[in-house]
Amino acid sequence: MLNSLNEDALFRKVDCIRIPVSNLKDGLEFYRDKLGHEIIWRTKSSIGLKIPESEAELVIHTEQNEPETDIKVKSVDHATKRFVDAGGSIVKAPFDISIGRCVVVKDPWDNELVLLDSSKGVFKTNSNSYVIGLE
């Protein structure tokens, strides 16, 4: 068993809660206009919205059908090995994403988790919140 309080913890923070919507216009009308969440960034298929009092984002998107929670780790490759060594399994092998790397894993109770890192940087946006690159 690890004995330091937080230094050895694999999960660093919740990165985002991803929620599928049928289209971004309707998603914005609900989550921004009616529920009050401010836009942080946007792409053609996703919009990141601020969750006050949290570093996590609410991401509405048109890319898949199931909601998911993405958990930030220091390194996806290290986290994948550690997760499997601890008794978990890999659902989708590590792959590149725009800000870094990602992996889909399953714990011993069949809970699917999405782990990601930001090894390539974070989104850089223009004045209209559109992603224009990485910082």
In total, how many domains does the chain have? 1
Does residue 7 lie within any of the structural domains?
A: no
The type of residue at 105 is V
pLDDT in tens, 56-110: 999 999 998 899 999 999 999 999 999 999 999 999 999 999 999 999 999 999 9
Burial class (CB in 10 A: 0-12, 13-18, 19+), 24: middle
H or E element at residue 79: helix 76-85
Does residue 94 lie within any of the structural domains?
A: yes
Percentage with pLDDT > 70 across the chain: 96
Whether 6 has a pLDDT exceeding 80, the answer reads: no
pLDDT at 2: 52
Residue 92 is part of which domain span? 13-134
CA angle, 109 then 113 then 57, to 5°:
140
Q: What is the pTM of this model?
A: 0.85
Structure tokens at 79: 């986290």
Whether 120 has a pLDDT exceeding 90, the answer reads: yes
